[in-house]
Amino acid sequence: MSELTVASRFCGPPGTANGGYVTGLFASHAPEVVRVRLEKPVPLDVPLQVERRGAGRLELLHAGQLLARAEPATLDLQPPSPPDYVEALTASRRFTALHDHTFPGCFVCGTGRARGDGLRIFAGATASGDMVAAPWVPDASLDQGDGKIGAEYMWAALDCPGYFAARDDGKLMLLGEFTAHVDRRVHVDEPCVVIGWKIAQRGRKYEVGTALFDEDGELCGRALATWIELR
């Protein structure tokens, strides 16, 4: 058994962890690509237990309560071509939560987070309307000591744009499942573009893809997510 703790900086909704960040941190305990299913909101600033269950499966627990599970998976996801950085910057001005955000303190997309604290990834519709996009320049606080950012921050960056690709009306949804793969960790201060696109909808469930590209337009990370609309 091993442990992890999600610091309060990395919150999503108040008092709970950002889904992308915690799934990335949890997935770092697996030797291969995994699909993470979130069962309950993950608390902040408390030790969480990572249990190995065989066949590559993991469980994340707190006080004996199951919070998330992970199992080996494949990620066959081909992202569309991204807009360039300037186009992504223009798209971010169409971010639907720019002036009325349900969770302004969210580590990834919160408008109430200062630069160097939150990621401030504001994904808005592109001119074509077939995806959302945002620029992102990772700051020095994410440095893993080698000039590059940790994979868990890339998982985080790949999270919220998927929500805004699924809906643009602020309807409350929860991240249900997340499968991500980091092809290359990006550098601190590297201008990046993050995109999200809707793949399918089945009732209250939305399947979306997200991807992260470096300043040369090279794919550095991608994710497949299921978001669930609350009743």
The secondary structure of 144-205 as a DSSP string is -SSSBB-HHHHHHHTTHHHHHHH-SS---EEEEEEEEEESSPPBTT--EEEEEEEEEEETTE
pTM of the entire predicted model: 0.97
Instruction: For tokens 């995994």, name the residue.
Output: 34
Q: pLDDT tens across 129-156, in order?
A: 999 999 999 999 999 999 999 999 999 9
* Residues constituting the chain: 231
Please tell me the chain's helix, strand, coil percentages from 3-state DSSP, rounded to the nearest 5.
15, 40, 45
168 against 163, higher pLDDT = 163
Each domain of the chain, given as residue ranges in start order, spans 2-72, 85-229
Asked if 2-72 and 85-229 have one fold, the answer is yes
- What's the CA gap between 142 and 165, in Å, rounded? 25
Q: What superfamily does domain 85-229 belong to in CATH?
A: Hotdog Thioesterase (3.10.129.10)
What does the mean pLDDT of the chain come to? 97
CATH code for residues 2-72: 3.10.129.10
Taking residues 203-217, what's their average pLDDT?
97
- What's the CA gap between 145 and 135, in Å, rounded? 23
pLDDT bracket for residue 231 (50, 70, 90): confident
Is the model's pLDDT at 1 over the cut of 90? no
Instruction: Say which DSSP state 41 is in.
Output: P
Q: pLDDT tens across 83-110, in order?
A: 999 999 999 999 999 999 999 999 999 9
Cβ-contact 159, 17 below 8 angstroms: no
Confidence at residue 135, expressed as pLDDT on a 0 to 100 scale: 98
Q: pLDDT tens across 18-68, in order?
A: 999 999 999 999 999 999 999 999 999 999 999 999 999 999 999 999 999
Confidence at residue 86, expressed as pLDDT on a 0 to 100 scale: 97
- What's the CA gap between 194 and 113, in Å, rounded? 18
Contacts of 193 (CB under 8 A, 6+ apart): 82, 83, 84, 85, 88, 133, 134, 135, 136, 212, 213, 217
